Amino acid sequence: MKLLEDRIKKEGQALSETVLKVDSFINHQVDSVFMDALGADFAEHFKDAGITKVFTIESSGIAPALMTAEHLHVPLVILKKQTSKILNGNVYQTRITSFTKGTSYELTLFADYIMPEDRILLIDDFLANGEAAMGASRIIEASGATLAGIGILIEKSFQKGRKRLEEAGYTVYSQARIGKLGAGVIEFLPEEEPQAAKRNRQTEPKSGEPPAQTVGKTGSRRAVGAN
Ligand code: 5GP
């Protein structure tokens, strides 16, 4: 998406060969009008995917995800980062290791906000190693719902996340794809093909990714997973 690439070229700062800073319009200060344009683009891309809910992971994904949900006229659900397990709640949980911080957290969803018939569009700001998105997918699959698409603002294509998600059978659309980062260097890959060409891809995971570690409605764990 040219709009996003141009903004990254103008304001993005490569902090290293792996970390891009976009604090001036996405991660710290948020350009609301710009987020609306990104949301409209995601909504257009996934308009025929039967999306019933947009999911994101707190906190940087919230702004573009909310705009996407608004354009699709569906609710937004925010997956929470808890520091420890909730052992007696009606929740799904799975452990994630943060790419930028190197720390772990329990990605958490209150079970009332997902139904087996839901078709979920997951939106996040960055795709690096795919830890966050795979964690969200474990929770979604454990609930019986379908992860019908993944929308990413900035994919760092030199890291393994994209490959991992596609190997698991998910449809991924990234608005900007970075092929190389370094001191003063931000190189983009060509724009993604339209969704129509990808629409028929399968949505069910086929790799050996583990299921979510969950806490069921009774408080007893009912799946063992990725810790
Ligand atoms: P992953 O889970 O794909 O390994 O990493 C994605 C998450 O890590 C994103 O939700 C984002 O918050 C954070 N992240 C990964 N790479 C970057 C980056 O280069 N810059 C910033 N600001 N955040 C990143």
Name which of 72-76, 141-145, 155-159, 182-186 the model is least confident about. Answer: 182-186
**Residue 61: band (very low, low, confident or very high) from pLDDT cuts 50, 70, 90:** very high
Strands 13-14 and 20-21: antiparallel
What's the mean pLDDT when you consider all of the chain? 88
Ligand 1 centroid to 137 CA: how many Å? 16
Ligand 1 centroid to 115 CA: how many Å? 28
pLDDT in the model for residue 196: 55
pLDDT in the model for residue 95: 96
pLDDT above 90 as % of the chain: 78
Name which of 120-134, 158-172, 206-220 the model is least confident about. Answer: 206-220
For domain 2-78+115-198, the CATH class is: alpha beta
pTM of the model: 0.89
pLDDT in the model for residue 195: 60
**Residue 215: band (very low, low, confident or very high) from pLDDT cuts 50, 70, 90:** very low
The pLDDT of residue 136 is above 60: yes
**Residue 203: band (very low, low, confident or very high) from pLDDT cuts 50, 70, 90:** very low
The pLDDT of residue 199 is above 90: no
Residue nearest to ligand 1 atom 5, measured at CA: 128
The pLDDT of residue 125 is above 90: yes
Summarize the confidence of residues 100-105 as an average pLDDT.
85
The pLDDT of residue 152 is above 60: yes
Q: Which residue has the higher pLDDT, 5 or 103?
A: 5
* Annotation: binding site for 5-phospho-alpha-D-ribose 1-diphosphate: 128-132
Name which of 27-31, 102-106, 125-129 the model is least confident about. Answer: 102-106
Ligand 1 centroid to 132 CA: how many Å? 8
**Residue 36: band (very low, low, confident or very high) from pLDDT cuts 50, 70, 90:** very high
**Residue 198: band (very low, low, confident or very high) from pLDDT cuts 50, 70, 90:** low
Residue nearest to ligand 1 atom 9, measured at CA: 126
